[in-house]
Amino acid sequence: MAELTYRQAVARGIAQEMERDPRVFFIGEDVAAAGGVFKTTEGLQERFGPERVRDTPISEEAITGAVMGAAMNGLRPIAEIMFSDFFATCWDIVANQIAKARYMTDGQITLPLVIRSANGGGARFGAQHSQAMENWAMAIPGLKVVAPSNPRDVVGLLAASVRDDDPVIFLEQKSLYASKGDVPDGEIVDELGKATVVREGADITVVALAAMVPRALQAAEMLAGRGVDVEVIDLRSLVPLDMTTVLHSVAKTSRLATVEENPRLCGWGAEVTSIVTEEAFYDLDGPTLRITTPHIPLPSADTLEDLAMPSAELIAARVLQAGNA
């Protein structure tokens, strides 16, 4: 067992899969000699050499096009898009080509590739470098979407993503990079589409993703002092989406809240609450609750960014308000 930061876990996860499978290679902007702009890939080029860990030109289209071609020809590439906002520049390749190739060839072509990216707010990068774009990817058939909340899950979910035969968008919440957690020794491999109950509770189910998971846990501790017993679920992936765990929890607690840093319109929480309403309506003792950012570009000023994103205090207050309504 070792204590690693979230950013160190990224390098460990990549190294685990590159060590295991010679078909795995890694490319991106400044990921090799510099170790990545967020220092998530330090030491990889020294360990695996410049053939398997390569810097690319500043072109997201070139990066995604290259890994698509490599995956079509039997390799299992990992690419980095520096900020998830930059998917907007290569979205045609990702959404219209990578996502659809397996379907359009009737399975004759598989694309076992992973596209990693620093995602979300909380790091004062402003509206063009702070978007949480998991909803963009979730809406595209053919893409799997993964977003870990802690270092151990970074390793396990990254391994599962690399070994999957479908393209995976792997989103690392940038404000979590310095966070620490225990990571077991040896190989770690998880299963995509398996949520985790990270806190047992009896009064309300709170479903969260990535950076919202530790905030939901903080809110749960606050609410415990007010006599509210909160169950917290870390979804871990949006595609596949583990609604079985959510529905089982709601059957126990009879209440549901979702917490996401996405703008409210068309957020993943809307999908979760819709399914619960359709499939478990009679288990609910009250309306479902969605806690999101407003439908605005994320500010770069620290006080405004903190105000826009759901905080532990906001989560606790909204849950209490809903319970008293």
User: Structural domains in the chain?
Assistant: 2-183 (3.40.50.970), 196-324 (3.40.50.920)
Above 70 in pLDDT, residue 325? Answer: no
Structure tokens at 42: 């330090």
Structure tokens at 79: 């690419």
Angle at Cα 172 formed by Cα 114 and Cα 81, nearest 5°? 55
* 290: number of Cβ within 10 Å: 18
pLDDT band per the 50, 70, 90 thresholds, residue 93: very high
Average pLDDT of span 301-310 = 95
Q: What's the mean pLDDT when you consider all of the chain?
A: 97
pLDDT band per the 50, 70, 90 thresholds, residue 324: low
Question: How many Å apart are CA 217 and CA 196, to the nearest integer?
Answer: 13
CB 255 within 8 Å of CB 323: yes
pLDDT band per the 50, 70, 90 thresholds, residue 304: very high
> Exposure pattern of 57-93 as b/e (b: 16+ CB <10 Å)?
eeebeebbbbbbebbbeebbbbbbbbbbbbbeebbeb
Q: Tell me the three state secondary structure of residue 259.
A: strand
Structure tokens at 298: 């994320």
Average pLDDT of span 1-19 = 97
The pLDDT tens digits of the residues spanning 34-43 come to 999 999 999 9
Is 129 a residue of the active site?
yes
Average pLDDT of span 148-169 = 98
* Catalytic hit among 76, 102, 129, 215: 129
Cis peptide before 240 (omega within 30 of 0): yes
